[in-house]
Homo-oligomer: A and B are copies of this chain.
Amino acid sequence: MKHGGDTLTFKERYNGKIIDYSSNINPLGPPEALREAFERGFSAVTSYPDIKYRKLKGCAGRYLGCSDDEVLVGNGAVDIINTLSLSFRKVVVPVPSFVEYAERAEILGKEVVKLPMKDFSIDMEKLKDNISEGTMIIAGNPNNPNGKRIPEEDVLELQKLAEENGAFLVLDEAFYEFCPEDYDSIKLFKSKGNVCVIRAATKFFALPGIRLGYGFAAKSIADTYYDNWIPWNINVFADMAGQVIFDQTDYIKKTKDYIKTERSYMLQELNRIDGIMPYESETNFILLKLSKGNEDTLFDYLIQKGYMIRKASSFDGLDKTFVRIAVKDHFNNSRIISYIEEFCKIYEV
Chain A residues near B (Cβ < 8 Å): 2-3, 5-8, 20, 23, 25, 29-30, 34-35, 38, 41-42, 44-52, 54, 75-76, 78-79, 82, 86, 100, 104, 107-109, 206-211, 227-228, 230-238, 241
Contacts and interface: CB of A to CB of B under 8 A. Distances in A.
8 contacts: A3-B51, A30-B42, A34-B45, A45-B206, A75-B75, A78-B232, A100-B231, A209-B236
Nearest to A9: B52
B48 A29 contact: no
A2 B51 CA distance: 11
A29 B233 CA distance: 21
A206 B43 CA distance: 11
Contact of A3 (B5, B231, B236): B231
A230 B104 CA distance: 8
Contact of A208 (B23, B41, B232): B232
A234 B78 CA distance: 12
A38 to B, nearest CB: 6
Contacts of A107: 86, 227-228
A209 B235 contact: yes
A293 to B, nearest CB: 26
A41 B5 contact: no
B86 A108 contact: yes
Contact of A209 (B2, B46, B54, B208): B46
Contacts of A6: 48, 50-52
B51 A25 contact: no
A178 to B, nearest CB: 16
A44 B207 CA distance: 9
Contacts of A47: 5, 7, 20, 25, 208-209
A34 B236 CA distance: 15
A147 to B, nearest CB: 19
Contacts of A230: 75-76, 78-79, 82, 104
A235 B211 contact: yes
